[in-house]
Amino acid sequence: MGVVNVTPDSFSDGGRYLDTGAAVEHGLALLADGADVLDIGGESTRPGATRPLVADELGRVVPVIERLAAQGATVSVDTMRAEVARAAVDAGAAIVNDVSGGLADPGMAAAVAATDALFVAMHWRSHSTRMYDLAVYDGPGGVVGAVVDELADRLEALAAAGLAPERVVLDPGLGFAKRGEQNWELLRGLDALDALGRPVLVGASRKSFLGALLAGPDGEPRGVEGREHAHQAVIADCARRGTWGVRVHDVRATRDTLAAVAALAGPSSAPSSSSPSSSASSQPLATDAAAGCGTVSS
C-alpha cells in the first residue's frame, strides 16, 4: 500500500503532494514501482496535528481519487470521517483506512457497511493531541494483549453497526498511543493478532520509533529519510510472519525486500496475481512478493 499524503503538514512529506496534479503524478509513480493499493489521505495524524475542515479534506482527496481510480488504480482513502469515506467510495475508492477504527466518527461503520468497500480498523485510543498520554499498558498482557483485546472489541462494535468482520482488515497502530519500545514489543508479538482471524496491515514507514532506534551518539533521532533500511527489516519480518500488507512510502525498496523474502522461502512461495478486493481469500505478503497485499474473503 503506497502512501499519497495530500496534506500540508504530514510528518514525512507534508506539502510535497498537496497539489492535485502532484499527488496524482506521485500515485502513478508508486504504481509503476509496484504498489497494489494507493492510500490517499487529506489529514495528517502526526502528534499535535490540527484537523482540517471537512470541506478541505474532501477537496484534497476526492479529485485525486477520481483521477487515479479512472486510470485503474485500486485506491484506499485514509480518513476518520464518514462523510469523507462516502465521498471517496463514490469517487472510486475500494478501501476505507480509518486510523481510529471507527471510533472518531460514530457514523463510520454504517457508512462503510452501506458500500462494497473494505475497512481497515487501526488500534487507536485518542486523537494526536493526547495519544502519548494514553500509551499506558499495565495489564498482564502488556501492549500486545491490550491491542488484541481492544481490536477484538472494535470488531464486535463494527459488526453490531452492520460491518461484517469479513470486510475488516486490522492494523496494530504502530506509533499511535505507543512509545518507543512498545512498538517493538508489538511487532515481536504480531502473531497474537492471528487469534482475531482477520488479515493484518502494518504501517511502520518512517515512524519515530525507527528514528529513535537509529539515534546518533548525541541522542538525536535519525531523520525520516534515513530510516528506510531499518523499515525494510521490519517489512521482511512481517512477510516472514505472513502479514497481509504493509503501508509504505518507498514501494520500490519494499518490492525488493519482498522478492528476497520469497526467494529465501523457496519455490512454494511463488507469487500469485492477486490484489486487494472483497471477494477472495486472504493472501499474505510472504506468499505474494510480486503482487504485494493480499485479498480479504467473505
> Which of the residues are catalytic?
207, 247
- Interatomic CA distance for residues 262 and 275, integer angstroms: 17
Is residue 43 within 8 Å of residue 101, measured between CB atoms? no
Average pLDDT value for residue range 106-131: 93
- What pLDDT is attached to residue 141? 95
Q: What is the pLDDT of residues 36-90, one digit of tens each?
A: 999 999 998 776 678 899 999 999 999 999 999 999 999 999 999 999 999 999 9
Would the pLDDT of 101 be above 50? yes
* pLDDT of res. 54: 96
3-state secondary structure of 258: helix
Distance CA 27, CA 73 (A): 9
The dihedrals phi and psi of 278, each to the nearest 5 degrees, come to -105, 15
Which of 73-87, 107-121, 158-172, 258-272 has the least mean pLDDT? 258-272
Cα atoms in the Cβ-side hemisphere of radius 13 Å centred on 158: 31
| Alpha carbons 228 and 222: distance in angstroms, whole number | 10
Asked if residue 288 has pLDDT above 50, the reply is no
228-276: pLDDT as tens digits: 999 999 999 999 999 999 999 999 999 999 999 999 999 865 444 344 5
Where residue 35 falls (left for φ over 0; alpha for ψ -120 to 50; beta otherwise) is beta
Return the percentage of the chain with pLDDT > 90, whole number: 79
Q: How confident is the model at residue 287 (pLDDT cuts 50, 70, 90)?
A: very low
Q: Distance between CA atoms of 233 and 248, rounded to whole angstroms?
A: 13
Indicate the pTM of the whole model: 0.89
pLDDT bucket at 289, cuts 50 / 70 / 90? very low
